[in-house]
Amino acid sequence: MTSLISPDNIYALLTVFLGLAAFGFWSERTKIGQTLSGVILVILAGLALANFRVIPFSAPFYDLVWGYAVSLAIPLLLFRADFKKILPATGPMLFSFVIAAIGTVLGVFVGASLIDMGSSGADIAGTIGASWIGGSMNFAATSQALGMSDGSLLSAMAAADSVGGTLFLMVLVLLPASIAVRRLFPSKIMEETASVEGGAVDHGSKDLNMVHIALFLSGSALCCFLGYGTAALIGGWGADQGISWLAAFNRYGVLFVTIYALLVANLFSARIEPMSGDFPLGMLFMYVFFGVMGAGADVMAMIDRALPIFGFVGIMASVHLLVVLAATKLFKIDLAEALIASNAVALGPAPAAAQAAAQGWKPLVTPGVMLGVLGYAIANFIGVAMAGWLS
């Protein structure tokens, strides 16, 4: 059955997916969007449009999004990852972050050993593991680095990832409310801020500056040019020399893009600081990508694949939380700090800052954001490494 919009109608598809991106941004202001996240709503909208045959399951436009939008988004989302600011601001919570990241890695290996996710199991585990150390950007980047392009599989992975993340956030928020938990894990921060009312995190807003946006786009394109060029150069040299592991670098161009983006972020942080538009622009590309991801999903094919991945996410999250709580007790870490570090690792900077603010833990808002950004910076490398180890 053909779709209402043909696969070669680029402008019609642009209309749909840019509209879905706008819907994603808008939904984040609604209760359902805050509960499920704009990402999962955009994926579901793309999935519904494709399965009701409004848009096609595959199209040349989708290949363009996979090939260019994700790559351009990565530097835009990393240009604020200034380690000189991240490390001092996180302070003692950096140890909690490391523990939480280790918990995710252990959870990935335990989940992958217990759940059979098929021939792509290693790539699935590495991609979702990267998402649970960084965020949705790392999900997209790692899946691209591993050469994953099956729309139904990626949508099943994204659904399991997002729903699992939502349930995990609920657990993190509810844990401090338990008297038994607070007795077992004392928290000075919780005691000091018990009477403080929470509130939404105000990230501020700046006027649209087209010079900044053009510079950020140019810088992102430069990182992509250098990143994929470096990967091709090393891969080509490795192939000529008969060194297989060097030749494999040709497929990991996204990792070199990440490296160059981090170099820009740390070498030019003073110039980047007063500029604006990088993160929203990166999220625009990402929302288009997630819409395309949903559109590539055949629901009937996806259902068969989703259940094992849900099981994997459940095991991974459980191991992660057990490691975090065990370390909290063993090393006498403040429970509030441990929970925000866990949130930053598993869910990203925005949920971590939101939880800290909403529960009145104001001193932990900035560390939560910084740790989340640190997760963005390292997750691609860890995700690819885990996939390689498991394969």
pLDDT by residue for the chain (391 residues), tens only, comes to 789 999 999 999 999 999 999 998 898 788 887 666 677 788 889 989 998 999 998 899 998 887 788 889 888 888 888 888 877 767 778 999 999 999 999 999 999 999 999 888 999 999 999 999 988 778 888 998 898 888 778 888 888 887 788 788 878 878 887 888 888 887 887 776 654 443 333 444 556 789 999 999 999 999 999 998 998 898 888 777 777 656 656 666 777 888 899 899 999 999 999 998 898 898 899 889 888 878 877 776 566 677 899 899 999 999 999 999 999 999 999 898 999 999 999 988 767 876 786 677 877 877 887 888 888 889 989 999 999 999 8
What are the tokens at 260? 């160059």
Domain boundaries in the chain? 10-193+210-390
Considering only CA atoms, which of 74, 106, 136 is closest in space to residue 294? 136
- Which ranges of 28-119 does DSSP label H, i.e. alpha helix? 31-36, 38-51, 60-64, 70-78, 83-90, 93-114
Cα separation, 324 vs 28, whole angstroms: 29
What pLDDT is stored for residue 201 in this prediction? 35
What pLDDT is stored for residue 358 in this prediction? 65
Distance between first and last Cα of the chain: 37
Phi-psi group of 2: left, alpha or beta (phi > 0 → left; psi -120 to 50 → alpha; rest → beta): beta
What pLDDT is stored for residue 197 in this prediction? 42
Angle between helices 365-390 and 349-358 (to 10 degrees): 140
Instruction: Compute CA 46 distance to the chain's CA centroid, rounded to the nearest angstrom.
Output: 19
Cα dist. 293→119, 140, 160, 205, 252 in Å?
Answer: 20, 10, 14, 30, 20
Which amino acid, residue 290?
F
Q: What is the DSSP letter of 197?
A: -
Cα dist. 169→112, 172, 306, 356 in Å?
Answer: 22, 5, 21, 12
Phi-psi group of 202: left, alpha or beta (phi > 0 → left; psi -120 to 50 → alpha; rest → beta): beta
Considering only CA atoms, which of 12, 43, 39 is closest in space to residue 25? 39
CB atoms inside a 10 Å sphere around CB 38: 25
pTM, 2 dp: 0.71
